[in-house]
Amino acid sequence: MVILETERLYLRHFTLDDVEHLLPIFSDPEVMRFYPATKDRTATEGWIRWSLDSYQQHGIGLWAVILKQGQVFLGDCGLTIQAIEGRAEVEIGYHIRRDHWSQGFATEAARACRDYAFKAVDVPRVVSLVRPDNVASRRVAAKIHSHLREVFWEKVGFAVCMYWTERANVVAQR
């Protein structure tokens, strides 16, 4: 099921068949450099099942990112719920195949997810949580958000950069 469409991409629900496309991304040490570890087949299947559960429980989750031209599976991008400083936040997260980095796909998908969160999910703000040393993701977050501060993220046990956009900021820009 297609959730979002941009000029070059569409984002759709995962299926369990997507493990074949996602595994090469999740097993790539460079793509997963800012995660605790790479993922094997079992962990990748678990990731997809977690996303499928999130669709049912929250109406949001991580979605498969597909390049329209050639129907190329690029990775995942979507909305998850994270606990930050005692508050539930809707976060944009993504992974893009390394051979498609630096072409604007992460920014395009993340911006579409941000806008979807405000239109379809009706949340007051959307965040991106990024490790301070993840320069590429910080660039993406800076392009789609208007605010930044450091927060302690209990889930990972260290401080991260929290970029965010308030719903009012996006509505005012239209």
Q: Could you read off the pLDDT of 92-102 as tens digits, one per residue?
A: 999 999 999 99
Q: Are 22 and 44 in contact (CB under 8 A)?
A: yes
What pLDDT sits at residue 142?
Answer: 97
**Which range marks the domain in which residue 35 is found?**
2-173
How many other C-beta atoms lie within 10 A of the C-beta of residue 21? 18
Tell me, what CATH number does 100's domain have? 3.40.630.30
- The chain-wide mean pLDDT, for the chain, equals 93
pLDDT in tens, 48-65: 999 999 999 999 999 999
The answer to whether residues 161 and 130 touch, using CB atoms and an 8 Å cutoff, is yes
Query: Which of 144, 131, 152 lies closest to 173 in space, CA to CA?
Result: 144
User: pTM value?
Assistant: 0.93
- Rounded-to-integer distance, Cα 97 and Cα 109, Å: 13
Does 154 score more than 90 pLDDT? no
How far apart are the C-alpha atoms of 159 and 21, rounded to whole Å? 32
Mean pLDDT of 38-45: 97
Q: Quick one: which of 86, 93, 94, 54 has its CA closest to 154? A: 86
Strand pairing category for 125-130 and 72-84:
unpaired
| Structural contact between residues 7 and 45, judged by C-beta atoms closer than 8 angstroms | no
For the four alpha carbons of 16, 17, 20 and 21, in that order, the dihedral sign comes to negative
Tell me the three state secondary structure of residue 8.
Answer: coil
With bands split at pLDDT 50, 70 and 90, how would you rate the model's confidence at 110? Answer: very high
State the total domains in the chain.
1
Q: How far apart are the first and last CA of the chain?
A: 28
